[in-house]
Amino acid sequence: MDNREITLIRNGAQEKATVFYDTEQPSIIFKFKNFEKICHGENLFSCFIKLRQELPEIKFLCKGAKRNVHPSRMSSQMSAGLMAYELETGKQARRENLVNIFDYEEESLTNEPATQSEYYKNWLESLR
């Protein structure tokens, strides 16, 4: 199981937490102070979605929480959802747009997976 330190905001204060993740049996163990939360899913991106939904009081400063970040089927299969594309309307996703979902980010963040899904659908439409 790999791990990564991430940054978050809770009660207005920026703090650090650790995310342990398994790409073989997609799961995330979130450890923050004396709190621990485990999420399972079809891939790590879906696990991270569950984590964010279950902890709405926490703002995760991670690429995976950014409105325009979404995995493709291929990136999800190859990285178990650890890597996703940072999408731009009207532009094809390229290899250089691949990001680790736990990389630091502070712009356009959301805890609503519907916001990311909607952006993804609109992005697909913009390519037609």
Q: Is the pLDDT of residue 110 over 90?
A: yes
Q: Where are the domains of the chain?
A: 2-126
Which helix (H) or strand (E) segment holds residue 46: the answer is helix 44-54
Position 77 pLDDT exceeds 90: no
Query: Residue 7: left if φ>0, alpha if ψ -120 to 50, beta else—which one?
Result: beta
Q: What is the pLDDT of residues 34-69, one digit of tens each?
A: 999 999 999 999 999 999 999 999 999 999 999 999
Q: Which residues touch 72 (CB under 8 Å, ≥6 apart)?
A: 84, 85, 93
Query: 125 is written with which tokens?
Result: 């439409």
How far apart are the C-alpha atoms of 98 and 71, rounded to whole Å?
9
93-105 pLDDT, tens digit per residue, is 999 999 999 999 9
On the question of pLDDT at 78 being above 90, the answer is no
